[in-house]
Structure 1
Amino acid sequence: MGKASVGLSKKQLEIITATATKTAAEEYNKMQQGQKKKDYNWRLRNIKLLLKNYRNLKLYCDEIVKDLTILEPFLNLMGGKALDIKAMTETEVKTEVMMKYVDNVLEVYERACKEGTSEDHRRYRIIRDMYLNPTKLNIEKISEKYNTDRSTIYREVNRACETLGVLMFGMDGVEDIFQR
């Protein structure tokens, strides 16, 4: 028995190809939009995470053992396998460089806020009180200090994080704001 062959006309192939291309392009655009939203959320979360850990990271940079050779006797006792001094040094350097960058961004942000509106200036003070000062104030104390409710404080923190995102990530940070 011979196979029955069903042929498609040139016009039918063009229609199928055009439809498939259009559908693929739409799906690709949806994926791109989803990825941009994830990138925005990732950056915003990372800024908040960085702020939440700011004091600990500063302490780490201030208190870290600068001369790692004092660990050599410990390494010898452990057979040299327990610690990788090179990796520790790389982590230390990365953290210090990152924190210097963060401090520079925060200085720029502070200047911008002080030259901005009273709301901008208050927003910086809230960030400073909540995350940057050596003595941490909890949300209740900050709410009392600024005579406002907690939701306003959180909203101000989110606005500050948007601006910090622009300062930390440049044009990618600006695009994040417009993607929302």
Structure 2
Amino acid sequence: MHKEEIEEVVKIAAAEVLVRREEIIKDEYDARYQDVKLLMKNYRRLKIYYAKVSPETLEVDTIFSMRRKTGLMMSHVDNMLSAYRAMCKEALTPDEARRWDALYMRYIGDERLSVDTIAEKLNIDRRTFYRDISLAMEDLAVLLFGIEAIGARKNKK
């Protein structure tokens, strides 16, 4: 191969990497967002699982390891939910402040309320509820996954 041919191949490969990079970043952001949604949808179950499965009843190391990982993750999630609650309650706009209430009523509180019930309690329409939840999930992705979520979030816009 001649030097010019090698340079052309390198240019094409570099351009492909740059194009693919944006796609990878978007995919990572989408995956984190979906992870947060799945986590919130299963929040109550995970809390119950961790509370009900005692180490004394476990005989298989793998199950114990899963319980430990679940406990560590739920502790982190609870800490970040507390931080998010404080951020929302201290927010300057009612929209930001309302996000915690929507998230709590839908995923965290003892009883999972319907979208219509939550919208009625918060005096908003369904579209506003879904927008609030979507923004809350984005905020939680940043809290849960840190700087990587910020970079992916910035590149999504």
TM bin, normalised by shorter chain, reads over 0.9
Matched, 1:104 2:73: no
CA distance in 1, matches of 2:101, 2:13: 49
| Conserved 8 A contact 1:68-1:85 | no
Aligned to 1:87: 62
CA distance in 2, matches of 1:66, 1:86: 10
Q: Please identify which structure carries the higher helix content.
A: 2
Give the CA deviation at 1:17. 2.8
CA distance in 2, matches of 1:108, 1:132: 14
Matched, 1:17 2:6: yes
Give the CA deviation at 1:179. 0.9
**Aligned partner of 2:109: which letter?**
N
Q: Secondary structure at the match of 1:94?
A: helix
Tell me the TM-score normalised to structure 2 length: 0.92
**What percentage of aligned pairs have identical amino acids?**
32
Aligned to 2:88: 113
- Flag the structure with more relative contact order, 1 or 2, with Cα contacts below 8 A and sequence separation at least 6: 2
Uncovered stretches (5+) of structure 1, i.e. residues with no partner: 1-7, 70-83
Q: What are the superposed Cα offsets for residues 48-107 of structure 1, whole Å, 9 maximum, x if unpaired?
A: 0000000110111111133126xxxxxxxxxxxxxx611111111111111011000000
Would you identify which runs of 4 or more consecutive aligned residues in structure 1 move more than 4 Å? none
- Count matched residues: 155
Aligned to 1:132: 108
Moved more, 167-176 or 48-57: 167-176
**Aligned partner of 1:40: which letter?**
Y
CA distance in 2, matches of 1:128, 1:166: 18
Matched, 1:56 2:45: yes
State the superposition RMSD in angstroms. Answer: 1.5
Uncovered stretches (5+) of structure 2, i.e. residues with no partner: none
Q: Secondary structure at the match of 2:123?
A: coil
Give the CA deviation at 1:44. 0.2
Aligned to 2:151: 175
Give the CA deviation at 1:146. 1.7
Aligned to 1:148: 124
Which of 150, 160, 169 is the equivalent residue of 2:136? 160
Tell me the TM-score normalised to structure 1 length: 0.81
Q: Secondary structure at the match of 1:135?
A: coil
CA distance in 2, matches of 1:111, 1:142: 20
**Aligned partner of 2:52: which letter?**
E
